[in-house]
């Protein structure tokens, strides 16, 4: 019998993973770790063990990890300051007898990738490799749903601004990422492996403009802009500075080819095809 733990379990990814895991695992073998246990009362009522855990509270975290064999370590949302949190979580897992840690990372976390999230993920991957634990790194491509407002705005305004040039990203749904994570947690294996989790195709800004034309039934001009002008546009739209830097850096990363690699990981690990970009956007914009 293997006890499965999920950190950050009250976030959307954590909840989706918990649902997937509970399809095939006895709830008594599932430990959901969160800073907000009350938010997971529904899972507790179904028999899952819900425990208070915060990567900033090492003793509490070690207590919460007691008995966990396989842990999904969900990267936190504290971009730029989460490396210490995630290193602490890896160390706590090693100290408490967790055998296998599955971690949510980013495609190609190498120094020349301009995405601002790269350093945190690369540092956590290094910590895992040096921990003595069994590890699996799930390098999740960009969430597809985050592009829905881009297409929606393009339909409304007739213009789609992008700094990604002719670069493409292999956008993937959060649900597909959750299904892959649950497959590794429930089936085991993939030890000391990196898995690139992607959608079924790589999508460019030009593809998105074409989709906006088709859905909107109107002309949509693709406006290719430099990083600086793109960031200014986001600021002008009222986005906070961290979001401006994050989104602009992902556009640059896409332009430079760091996000375009497509893999069959979703189908291979879950037995079902990943959701296609156009299908997801069409469905989202119908609702």
CA distance to 35, 56, 89, per residue, from 71 (Å): 16, 17, 10
Nearer to ligand NAP, 170 or 220 (CB): 170
Return the bridge partners of 72, or none: 6, 102
Shortest distance, position 21 Cβ to ligand NAP, whole Å: 15
Strands 4-6 and 221-224: unpaired
Burial class (CB in 10 A: 0-12, 13-18, 19+), 93: buried
- In a 13 Å sphere around the CA of 156, the CA atoms on its Cβ side amount to 7
Which of residues 74 and 133 has its CB atom nearest to ligand NAP in the complex?
A: 74
Contact with ligand NAP (CB under 6 A) among 3, 76, 248, 249: 76
Interface residue with ligand NAP, options 3, 4, 5, 9 (CB under 6 A): 9
> Contact with ligand NAP (CB under 6 A): which of 20, 21, 55, 68?
55
Instruction: Tell me the closest approach of the beta carbon of residue 237 to ligand NAP, in angstroms.
Output: 19
The answer to the question of residue 43 lying near ligand NAP (CB under 6 A) is no
- Reduced to 3 states (helix: H, G, I; strand: E, B; else coil), residue 51 is strand
- Binding to ligand NAP (CB under 6 A) within 91-120 occurs at 104
Residue from the set 3, 4, 5, 11 that interacts with ligand NAP by CB under 6 A: 11
DSSP 257: T
- With binding defined as CB under 6 A, does residue 164 bind ligand NAP? no
Q: Which stretch binds ligand NAP (CB under 6 A): 8-16, 22-30, 187-195, 224-232?
A: 8-16
- Specify the residue, 14 or 199, whose C-beta has the smaller distance to ligand NAP: 14
Q: Which is closer to ligand NAP, CB of 174 or CB of 245?
A: 174
Per CB under 6 A, 254 contacts ligand NAP = no
SS3 category, 104: strand
Which residues contact residue 101 at a Cβ distance below 8 angstroms, ignoring those fewer than 6 apart? 70, 71, 72, 73, 90, 93, 128, 131, 133, 134, 135, 136
Helix (H) or strand (E) holding 170: none
Site residues (vs ligand NAP, CB under 6 A): 7-14, 34-36, 54-56, 74-78, 85, 104, 140, 142-143, 146, 174
């Amino acid at each position: 019998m293997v006890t499965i733990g999920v950190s950050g379990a009250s976030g959307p990814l954590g909840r989706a993973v918990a649902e997937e895991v509970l399809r095939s695992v006895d709830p008594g073998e599932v430990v959901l770790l969160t800073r907000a246990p009350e938010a997971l009362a529904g899972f507790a009522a179904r028999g899952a063990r819900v425990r208070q855990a915060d990567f900033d509270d090492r003793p509490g975290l070690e207590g919460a990890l007691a008995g966990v064999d396989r842990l999904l370590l969900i990267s936190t949302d504290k971009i730029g300051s989460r490396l210490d949190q995630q290193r602490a979580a890896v160390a706590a897992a090693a100290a408490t007898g967790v055998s296998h840690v599955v971690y949510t990372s980013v495609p190609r976390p190498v120094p020349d990738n301009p995405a601002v999230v790269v350093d945190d993920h690369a540092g956590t991957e290094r910590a895992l490799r040096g921990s003595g634990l069994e590890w699996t790194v799930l390098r999740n491509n960009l969430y597809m749903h985050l592009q829905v407002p881009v297409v929606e705005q393009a339909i409304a305004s007739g213009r789609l601004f992008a700094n990604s040039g002719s670069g493409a990203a292999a956008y993937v749904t959060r649900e597909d990422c959750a299904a892959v994570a649950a497959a590794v947690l429930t089936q085991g294996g993939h030890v000391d492996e990196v898995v690139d989790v992607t959608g079924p195709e790589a999508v460019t800004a030009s593809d998105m403009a074409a989709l906006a034309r088709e859905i909107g039934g109107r002309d949509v001009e693709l406006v290719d802009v430099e990083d600086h002008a793109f960031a200014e546009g986001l600021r002008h739209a009222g986005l906070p500075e961290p979001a401006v830097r994050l989104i602009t850096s992902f556009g640059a990363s896409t332009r430079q080819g760091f996000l375009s690699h497509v893999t069959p990981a979703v189908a291979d690990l879950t037995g079902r095809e990943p959701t296609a970009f156009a299908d997801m956007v069409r469905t989202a914009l119908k609702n």
